[in-house]
Structure 1
Amino acid sequence: MFSLIIRGRKPLELHKWLNFRVSLNPSAFSSASDVSLQDTQKGNSFTVSYLVESLGFTTKLAESIWTTDKGCNLVSVLALLRSHGFTDSHISTIIKTYPRLLLQDAESSLAPKLRFLTSRGASTSELTEILTKVPKILGIKKDKALSRYYDFVREIIVVADKSYYSLPEGSAQGNKLRNVLVLRDMGVPQRLLLPLLISNHHVCCGKEKFEETLKKVVEMGFEPATFRFVEALRMHYQLSDKTIQEKLSFYGKLGFSEGDVWEMFKKNPSFLPLSEKNVLNSIEAYLGLGFTRDEFAVLVKCHPQCLNYSAELVKRKTEFLVKDMNWPVKSLVSNPTVLGYNLEKRTIPRCNVIKALMSEGLLGSELPSLGSVLVCTDHAFLKRYVMKHGDDKKLVAELMAVFTGGHVS
C-alpha cells in the first residue's frame, strides 16, 4: 500500500522487530550520545548491555542484532542522527515509529539521504521536525522520490498556511497536494493526511473525480476528523457508479434495502468492495455456526465489520462463547462487537475469571450477560467482578492471576 515500505523478503531482524515494541525512555540516549563506533567494538558485552539498558531491547534480541553485525551499525545510526541535530526525544520517537531505520547502513544509506536533504536547503529545525513526524521518508532510495515525498510532507507540516488555490494545475503531484490541503482545511487531522500523502492510492491524485467523491462523502454525513471519513472517501473513489448499483442489487437479493446498505456503509465503509463470493461464504459460515438468516441480517446491520472477519476466526470465537461458555447465539446477535475482540487477550482472560467465580459459587447459578462481561473496559470489568471481593485479598490475588494469565481454565 505504501510506497515507502521496503518491499521484498524481510530480513530476520525485521521479522523480530515487527512483533516487538521498542520501549524507550528519551533520557536513555543521553548517556549514549557521545558513544562512538569504535567504543562499541570493545566487546560484545558492552554492545549488548547498551542495547538492553539504553534502548530497552531484550537480551535475546540484542545478542541477535550483534551477531548479525547490526550492533555497530545501530550506534553509528544514532550518532549520525545526533550530528544532524536530532535530540534524544526526536530519536526516541523515530525509533518507536520506524524501527527498521536502524537496519540501514549509516554511511552508505542514511548519511547520503540526510546530506541530500540538507543540500536542498532544509534547515536543521525543519529537517528534524519533518523526519521525526514521518521517518518512513528515510526508507526511500532514489533522490528524486525522496525529494518529492519530503516536499509533500513539508507542505503539510511546515507550510500549513499556503493556499492550495495558488498551486499549479494539471500535474499529478500538484493535484495530490492540492487535494490533501483541501482535506486539511476541512478538518481532517494530520495523522490521517500523511498516509494519503505518501500512499500509492489514487484517491487524492485526480481533480474532478476527487471533488465528486468528496461531495458524496460529505453529503452522507461523515465527520472529517474521523478515520471513517477517509475510508469512505477511498471506497467511493475506487467504486464506479455502475459497480455501486451492482452492489446494491446484490444486497437487495439478500434482503437488505438500499437504506440498509448505506447505513452499513456509514458504520464500516470497507465492507462495500467485498466480492459476492466472500459475502456468500461469510453467510454460509455464520449459518453453519447456528445463526438464523434473520439473526445474521441483524448482526450485519448492527456491525457490518462482521462481513470482514475470516470464517476461521468467527468460528473460533463463536464456538468458545457458545459451546465453552454457554452463552446463546442470540447474545452474540445482541452484542456483535464481541466478534471483533481479541480472543486470547480480551475474551478468554475475562471468561476465565467468570469461570473461577462460578466454580466458587460467587455468581449464583446463572451466567452473567455477555455484554456485562465483554462489552466494557478492563477497569470496569475488574471493578465489577474482581475488586468487589476486596475484603478477601487472597481471592482478589487469585482472580488477578487468572485474569493476567490469559489461559483457558
Structure 2
Amino acid sequence: MFHFLYYKKLLQINIQTLQIQSLQNPFLKSYCQTNPPSSLLQYLQKSLGFSPEEALTASKRLKHKTPKNPDAVLTFLKSQGFSKTHIKSIINRIPQLLSAMPESSLRPKIQFFKEKGLSESDVVGLIVAKPNILTASLEKRLKPFFYFLHSLLGADRVVIDSLKQPRFGFDQYKMVSNLTILQNCGVPNHHVLKFLVKEPAVLAADSARFNEAVKMVQEMGFDSSTRLFMEAVRVILKLSRPVWDMKFKVYRSFGWSDKEILSAFRRHPICIMLSEEKIRRGLDFFMKELDWSPSYSASYAALLLLNLEKRILPRHRLLQFLASKGLIRKYKKLGWSFVMGEEKFMEKYVMKYRTEVPEILEIYEGMIGSKGLDIKDG
C-alpha cells in the first residue's frame, strides 16, 4: 500500500514538472498547443458529429483545451430551436462558444432579437448566418449597431435582413466613415440604402480601401447620381488587382482595347466579375459565330451576363430559321434581339409569324428544350 501511494505521488510530481516544462520549453509548448487532449477530440466527434479532421481543426482554435460546461451550451442551443446540424455549423466556425455561459452570455442576445419581433426560426436563421453574434458584446456592439442601422433603414425587419447578408460585421465606425465618403460624392440616399440592405458588406469595407475604390470609379467617369456608381464601387472592392488585370487580359485577347473594356464596364460593371470561362464562351459566340466587332460587342456587354444555352442560342437558332425562310433580314448585328425580354421577343419573332409558319411556337419550344418557355438568365 505504501509503495502504491509513493509511486502515485511520484507520478503526480512528474506530471506537474512536465506541465511546467511545457510552458517554458518552446517545443513542448507548441506540441501541447497543437495536440489537443484526446478527450476533447472524442467529445467533438461524439456530441457534434465532427469528423476526426473537423474535430482537430476546431480544437486548435480553442484557447482553453478543456472548455467549460460544453454540454450546457449544447443543451441551451437545442432549447432555442437549433438543430444538430445548426449547432455543428456554429461550433465548427466558433468553437470557443463551448466555453460560453448560456444564461449570462447567450440568452440575453437571443432574447434581444426576439424582442425585436423575430420568431424562433428567424433567430436561428440569423445566428446560423452570423454566429459571431453570439460572441459580440450585446451592450457595446450589437445594440448600438442595431439601433444605428434602424436609424437608417427605419424597420426592424429590414435591419435583420441586412444583418443576415454574408461578410457583414458590426463595425459602425467603418460604415459611418464610408457613408460620409458617399455623401460627399453626391450619391443619393436611396442608392446607398439599397446597398445597405442587399450588399451591406460593401459599406462595411475598410475605409481606406473604400475611399480608393470610390476615387477609381470617379476617375472612370461614372456619374455618382446613378445606381451604376455604387455597383462599380462594389465590383472594385470585390476584385483584387491581379484578378482585375486578368479579366482585362481576357477581353484584350479578343481584340478589345482598354477603352472598349472600360466602356463595357461603365455600362455593366458586373461584366468584369464574370468567370474567365463565361467571358470566353460568350465572346467566342458573339465575335466568332456572329462576327461582331470588339466595339459592337462592348456595346452589348450585357449579353455576357445572360445564359448562353437557355437564352442566347435558342433565339439565335430561331432567327436563323426565320432568315432562311426569308421572313427577316440577316440579323447578325441585331444585338437588341437578344437583350429584349422574353415576352417582347415572343411577340416580335414568334407570334408575328404564326400565319406563315403555323408550327413556329412548337419549333421555338423545341429549340429551348424540355423546360419550355421558362427561361431564366444566369
Which residue number in structure 1 is paired with residue 353 of structure 2? 389
> Residue 177 in 1 paired to residue 141 in 2?
no
Counterpart Cα distance in 2 of 1:267 and 1:364: 37
Give the drift of 1:324: 1.7
Corresponding residue to 2:232 among 229, 252, 268: 268
Which residue number in structure 2 is paired with residue 342 of structure 1? 307
Which residue number in structure 1 is paired with residue 323 of structure 2? 358
Q: Deviations over 1:130-179 (max 9, x none)?
A: x9xxxx899757778985775464344459xxxxxxxx985222233223
> Residue 307 in 1 paired to residue 267 in 2?
no
Identity, % of aligned positions: 18
> Residue 257 in 1 paired to residue 219 in 2?
yes
Conserved in 2, the CA contact under 8 Å of 1:285 and 1:311? yes
In the superposition, relative to structure 1, how do residues 192 and 182 fare at CA in structure 2: closer, same or farther (>3 Å)?
closer
> Residue 209 in 1 paired to residue 174 in 2?
yes
In the superposition, relative to structure 1, how do residues 395 and 149 fare at CA in structure 2: closer, same or farther (>3 Å)?
farther
Q: Deviations over 1:172-193 (max 9, x none)?
A: 22233223323431x7x94674
Which residue number in structure 2 is paired with residue 380 of structure 1? 344
Conserved in 2, the CA contact under 8 Å of 1:231 and 1:269? no
Superposition map of 1:79-118 within 5 A? 116-117=79-80
TM-score by length of 1: 0.54
**What is the total number of aligned residue pairs between the two structures?**
269
Runs ≥4 residues deviating over 6 A: 6-9, 112-115, 136-139, 141-146
Greater RCO, 1 or 2 (C-alpha within 8 Å, sep 6+): 1
Superposition map of 1:179-258 within 5 A? 179-185=148-154, 190=157, 193-197=160-164, 199=166, 201-202=168-169, 205-217=170-182, 219-223=186-190, 227-230=194-197, 233-241=200-208, 243-244=209-210, 247=213, 251=216, 257=219
Counterpart Cα distance in 2 of 1:137 and 1:210: 30
Superposition map of 1:296-335 within 5 A? 296-335=261-300
The residue type equivalent to 1:390 in the other structure is R
Give the drift of 1:198: 7.0
In the superposition, relative to structure 1, how do residues 405 and 368 fare at CA in structure 2: closer, same or farther (>3 Å)?
farther
Give the drift of 1:298: 0.9
Counterpart Cα distance in 2 of 1:7 and 1:363: 63
Which residue number in structure 2 is paired with residue 154 of structure 1? 114
Counterpart Cα distance in 1 of 2:351 and 2:235: 40
Q: Deviations over 1:353-391 (max 9, x none)?
A: 2222223332223435111x1212111111111111122
In the superposition, relative to structure 1, how do residues 171 and 248 fare at CA in structure 2: closer, same or farther (>3 Å)?
closer
Corresponding residue to 1:291 among 246, 256, 259: 256
Superposition map of 1:21-32 within 5 A? none
Conserved in 1, the CA contact under 8 Å of 2:235 and 2:269? yes
Give the drift of 1:299: 1.0
Which residue number in structure 2 is paired with residue 280 of structure 1? 245
| Matched position secondary structure for 1:268 | helix
Counterpart Cα distance in 2 of 1:8 and 1:288: 47
In the superposition, relative to structure 1, how do residues 376 and 152 fare at CA in structure 2: closer, same or farther (>3 Å)?
farther
Counterpart Cα distance in 2 of 1:7 and 1:290: 54
Conserved in 1, the CA contact under 8 Å of 2:178 and 2:204? yes
Counterpart Cα distance in 2 of 1:210 and 1:325: 46
- Structure 1 unpaired stretches of 5+: 1-5, 10-111, 119-130, 160-167
The residue type equivalent to 1:117 in the other structure is Q
Counterpart Cα distance in 2 of 1:198 and 1:147: 23
Which residue number in structure 2 is paired with residue 3 of structure 1? none
Counterpart Cα distance in 2 of 1:224 and 1:157: 27
Conserved in 2, the CA contact under 8 Å of 1:153 and 1:197? no
> Residue 400 in 1 paired to residue 365 in 2?
yes
The residue type equivalent to 1:211 in the other structure is V
In the superposition, relative to structure 1, how do residues 368 and 150 fare at CA in structure 2: closer, same or farther (>3 Å)?
farther
Counterpart Cα distance in 2 of 1:344 and 1:192: 38
The residue type equivalent to 1:348 in the other structure is L
Counterpart Cα distance in 2 of 1:146 and 1:353: 60
RMSD (Å) for aligned C-alpha atoms: 4.2
In the superposition, relative to structure 1, how do residues 383 and 152 fare at CA in structure 2: closer, same or farther (>3 Å)?
farther
Superposition map of 1:19-98 within 5 A? none
Q: Deviations over 1:255-280 (max 9, x none)?
A: x8264496754233321222221111
The residue type equivalent to 1:171 in the other structure is K
Q: Deviations over 1:26-73 (max 9, x none)?
A: xxxxxxxxxxxxxxxxxxxxxxxxxxxxxxxxxxxxxxxxxxxxxxxx
Q: Deviations over 1:319-344 (max 9, x none)?
A: 11221233333332222211111222
The residue type equivalent to 1:208 in the other structure is Y
